[in-house]
Amino acid sequence: MLLDIQNLTLGLPGAARPLLAEVSLRVGAGETVGLVGESGSGKSTTAKTVLRLLPEAASVTGRVLVDGTDVLALDGAGLRAHRAGTVAMVHQDPRSALNPVRRVGDFLVERLTSTGTTDRRTARAKAVELLGAVGLSEPERRFGQRPHELSGGMLQRVVIAGALAAEPRLLLADESTSALDVTTQAEILALLRSLREQRDLGMLFITHDLHLAAAFCDRVYVMYAGRVVEQQEADRLFTHARHPYTRGLLACSPELEDIDRALEPIPGRPPSLSDTFTGCPFATRCPHAEPECGTWIPEPVPLPGGGTAACRRLADLPEGPVEQPVLAKRSPA
Amino acid sequence: MFASIGRRLAGLLATLLAASFVIFAAVYAAPGDPAVFLAGGRDKLTPERLAAVREQYHLDEPLVVQYGRWLWDCLHLDLGRSFQYGDQVSDLLSSRFPTTLALVGYATVLFVVLGVGAGVLAAVRRGSWVDSAVVGTTTLTASVPSFVGGIALVAFFGVRLGWFPVTGSGEGFAGTLHHLTLPALAMALGAVAVIARVTRQAMVEAGAADHVEVARAAGLPEHQIIRRHVLRNALGPVVTMCGLVTAGMLAGTVAIETVFGLSGIGSLLVGAVNSHDFPVAQAVLLLMVAGYILVTTLVDLVHPLLDPRLKAMRSSA
Amino acid sequence: MTAAITVDARLPVRRRPVLVIAGAAFLALVVLAAAFAPLLAPYAPDAVDLSASLVGTGGDHPLGTDASGQDLLSRVLYGARTSLIAPLALLAIAALLGVTLGTVAAWRGGWVDTLVSRVTDVMYAFPGLLFVVLIIAVFGAGITTSVLGLGLAFAPTIAKYTRSVALTERAKPYVDAYRVQGMGGVRICVRHLVPNLARSIVGYLVVLFGEALMSLATLSYLGFGSQPPSSDWGLMVQEGQAAIVQGALLPALVPGTAIAAVVVAFNVVGVWAADRLGARR
């Protein structure tokens, strides 16, 4: 297994609840795994622990294995080599991911030289090659340009080129397309997919968009309040979502074909770091909650079709595609 | 780009004109006859001297014409004659300017190295005892007027320990360096505080940028991140502030040259004011103010070169 | 990265209330010492005693004497008066000018604003000290000229500050409300606008005090400010400097230390006070 996160729990001194609670997650080589959740659900934090980018005062338990090595135990040069070589991250906002005062080429050369290419001329040639590989026109010219001269989509390609510089085995894409407009988003997704195929990368694809994750990934994890609440094959998740939260997410996102369906927002508000939970964190917003849910510490329950869902009422929950409520037909205004 | 440089230079000229006019016209603010005032007061006044002053300053003509002629003469380095020293003012200036320039240059090197160094150190070790020490020391040195600092240095390193000469500017490069160390240090002390704080602040701000964490996430060595991503991005405010402080140092030599008995233009100004030698005072003030305005304009022009975003903004504006 | 250059010199102090209390206590002591100098000083500040020239510490003179045998402690105590009152006067003049100009510029806008801005710009072209030296070259040395000149030199920065806070204040609804009631501009400014800005402006002035004291001391040291037989600290340093070469450090260092100590204390307390008063950075 390329990435194997086991029972990862991460706490901060000031926070009422852990940022991450018992998170377990696996990504195989060549596999694309989606990680979905609202902001604050812990999905970015999970990705950052893979690079051991932790808040200063954080207390961590559990293991984060990359290729069998526990990342949390790394330090100093070993940690730098891990960050520079094995795993690369593509961040959300390409404009803030690049140093605005330096040239695009400097960014790439720097990445290349930190991973072994010591000769500057070779590094330069490689950088231009990478710029071409991520689909930028006139790579020679891009090399000398500065970030403010490029569009958001072009910059994200640069950032991806930078991530590829190290020839990593695992790519962490943290909301990598969220800041882009729709057409650019599609181009970047296509690029990520083809790169994954060519280079046999494992990819952890983080997004708040469940539909996007289901369409783009092989498997999807859904997170809520620092916990993984459900995990399934992507196409099954779409049709057989089990956890009430996942179903709530599906019910509240619009889709082309069911334009008449009423969008049902999940009642209540997303949990903040100051909320504490004695049991299932979703209980207060869950339509199926019973008093016992408030004291049941969630644990993954295996699903018949593969995957898990962390809900004690699985047996009583509806199956199959999220239903269209009867009262949903909107009367023409 | 060129348009903005043009605007700066036009602004520079306008400020120079305005400042020089103030320096020139100050004569008319003095009580009594400007000719008498320019000649150094009534005590040693002779009719010949008065006539010479009238002739030199064209006092019989309208104010604007006088100013125009005076400026024209200044541009031709004809700054009149000092009645105190009996020399051409321009000769006085040119013989004393090198000392002042060396002093300012030396002090600049000191405060840039020490100030930026301390600031970087404080920023990198933010929250540690190093940071507290830098902040504490700079609070202290910023509160000591340079002449007091100079006196203290003379007292301890000059007189008590005898490591450095107490007065004079020395011969040759090594001698000059030896003689100017204490004065330059005294001038630099306050500046070190300012630069250290600006550097620390700019580094902290630059270090909070997302791309710095991205670089860290990519496993770049820390010293490289600090040099290429934090310090490099913090340079704008740091260089600007260094320029402004250097510009201000020309005026700062007034006190320091007096403390250390250096014969530069600062002590020349003090002597001229105390002995009512107005033509000399005027010339030194003009030189110092012109230098100040020039350096500040230069800093303004250099700033966009350090930040390509500013350059883009200005040329599109 | 923000484009604006702001120096955060204040942050470190806020975390250390102990320093602020110590600074305030020291300043209170200095003010008391200045006020009760005649009671505290063992000698008259100008009592010359050539037989006791350059006496060290201890004995009859706690801090020693200067070349003319004047008691240094007594002189420093008396000198505190000039050294504290003169910067206050300077700031008062600068504030009067600066606040007036800044308010008028912000209130009237248009060519008045442009004119005030241009004048401030030209003043900024002079390093403050040189401007005062020019004034002294013209009007002659003396503490009054120095205070007036530095008052003029400090006014532009206060005007600039006042203008910026007044512009914000002017945009507030209550100003329009008074206008609608038919109240005149001068009255709104004097009765409402400026009083509402007072806290912030005082906060700004407090930070300038240390610099005012240092500038005045420098002028006195150069012989441009207080004239003998004053016990102004800057002047005392100048008079004491000659004795350094003879190995007597106290005559110059005692007043020098006094200047530095008061400025340090004031900067520590001032920065804290400016924050409390909500002065804009």
What's the pLDDT tens digit per position in B200-213?
999 999 998 889 98
What distance in Å separates residue A1's CA from the closest CA in chain B?
Answer: 22
Query: By three-state DSSP, how is residue B128 classified?
Result: coil
Torsion, Cα C262 C264 C270 C276, to 10 degrees, reads -130
For chain C, domain boundaries:
23-30+63-277
B233 chain-A contacts, CB cut-off 8 A: 99-101
| Average pLDDT rounded to a whole number, residues A59-78 | 88
pLDDT tier at A117, thresholds 50, 70, 90: low
Q: Which of A48, A83, A102 sits opposite B218 (nearest CB)?
A: A83
DSSP conformation class of A69? E
Which tokens hold the place of B282?
Answer: 């005027």
Neighbours of chain A (3+ CB pairs under 8 A): B
For chain A, domain boundaries:
221-329
Phi, psi (deg, nearest 5) at residue C237: -60, -45
Cα–Cα dist B219/A87, whole Å: 10
Phi, psi (deg, nearest 5) at residue C90: -55, -45
Single-letter amino acid code for the residue at B6: G
What's the pLDDT tens digit per position in A21-55?
899 999 998 899 999 988 888 888 999 999 988 88
| Average pLDDT rounded to a whole number, residues C226-242 | 90
Verify whether the Cβ–Cβ distance C224 to B209 is below 8 Å: no
Q: What pLDDT does residue C1 have? A: 30
A90 membership: H or E segment, kind and range: strand A87-90
Q: What pLDDT does residue C238 have? A: 92
DSSP secondary structure letters along A210-268 = HHHHHHH-SEEEEEETTEEEEEEEHHHHHHH--SHHHHHHHHTS--STTTTSPP-PPSS
Which tokens hold the place of C143?
Answer: 């503490």
Residue C229, preceding bond cis, omega within 30 degrees?
yes
Minimum CA–CA partner of B304 in chain A: A101
Beta strand A219-224 with A32-36 is parallel
Mean pLDDT score of chain C, rounded to an integer? Answer: 85
Cα–Cα dist A129/A126, whole Å: 5
Q: What pLDDT does residue B29 have? A: 84
Percent of the residues in chain C that have a pLDDT greater than 70, as a whole number = 93
Percent of the residues in chain B that have a pLDDT greater than 90, as a whole number = 36
Q: What pLDDT does residue B267 have? A: 93
Verify whether the Cβ–Cβ distance B197 to C8 is below 8 Å: yes
Is the confidence at residue B316, as pLDDT, over 50? no
What's the pLDDT tens digit per position in A213-230?
888 999 999 999 889 999
Q: What pLDDT does residue B311 have? A: 58
Neighbours of chain B (3+ CB pairs under 8 A): A, C
Give the count of beta carbons closer than 10 Å to the beta carbon of residue B116: 23
B238 chain-C contacts, CB cut-off 8 A: none
Which architecture characterizes domain C23-30+63-277 according to CATH?
Orthogonal Bundle (1.10)
B154 chain-C contacts, CB cut-off 8 A: 244
What distance in Å separates residue B276's CA from the closest CA in chain C?
Answer: 7
What's the pLDDT tens digit per position in C205-215?
988 999 999 99
Cα–Cα dist A162/A157, whole Å: 9
What distance in Å separates residue A57's CA from the closest CA in chain B?
Answer: 14
| Average pLDDT rounded to a whole number, residues B54-83 | 82
B144 chain-C contacts, CB cut-off 8 A: 259-260, 263-264
What's the pLDDT tens digit per position in C145-160?
999 999 999 999 999 9
Which tokens hold the place of B206?
Answer: 């630059």
Q: Is there a contact between C222 and B270 (Cβ–Cβ < 8 Å)? A: yes
Single-letter amino acid code for the residue at C26: F
Q: Is there a contact between A27 and A203 (Cβ–Cβ < 8 Å)? A: yes
Single-letter amino acid code for the residue at B97: F
Question: Do you know the residue count of chain A?
Answer: 333
Rounded (10°) angle between helices B278-306 and B89-124: 40
Cα–Cα dist B85/B280, whole Å: 10
Selected for mutation to probe chain A from B205, B211, B316 (highest A CB count within 10 Å) is B211
Cα–Cα dist A49/A67, whole Å: 15
What distance in Å separates residue C35's CA from the closest CA in chain B?
Answer: 24
Cα–Cα dist A209/A37, whole Å: 8
Cα–Cα dist B175/A214, whole Å: 78
Verify whether the Cβ–Cβ distance A166 to B228 is below 8 Å: no
What distance in Å separates residue C183's CA from the closest CA in chain B?
Answer: 39
Neighbours of chain C (3+ CB pairs under 8 A): B
Is the confidence at residue B147, as pLDDT, over 90? yes
Q: Answer yes or no: pTM beyond 0.90.
A: no
Q: What pLDDT does residue C218 have? A: 94
Q: Is A115 left (phi over 0), alpha (psi -120 to 50) or beta?
A: alpha
What are residue A59's DSSP bridge partners? A11
Evaluate the CA torsion angle B303, B309, B311, B313 in order and state its sign: negative
CA A235 from centroid of its chain's CA atoms = 18
| Average pLDDT rounded to a whole number, residues A121-135 | 87
Minimum CA–CA partner of A174 in chain B: B214
Percent of the residues in chain A that have a pLDDT greater than 90, as a whole number = 14
What distance in Å separates residue C9's CA from the closest CA in chain B?
Answer: 7
Single-letter amino acid code for the residue at B30: A
C260 chain-B contacts, CB cut-off 8 A: 143-145, 148
Which tokens hold the place of B20?
Answer: 């020089």
C5 chain-B contacts, CB cut-off 8 A: 198, 202, 237, 240-241
Single-letter amino acid code for the residue at B112: V
C221 chain-B contacts, CB cut-off 8 A: 145, 147, 255, 258
Range of weakest confidence among A65-69, A162-166, A263-267, B243-247:
A263-267
Q: Which residues contact B183 (CB under 8 A, 6 or more apart)?
A: B103, B107, B150, B256, B257, B259, B260, B262
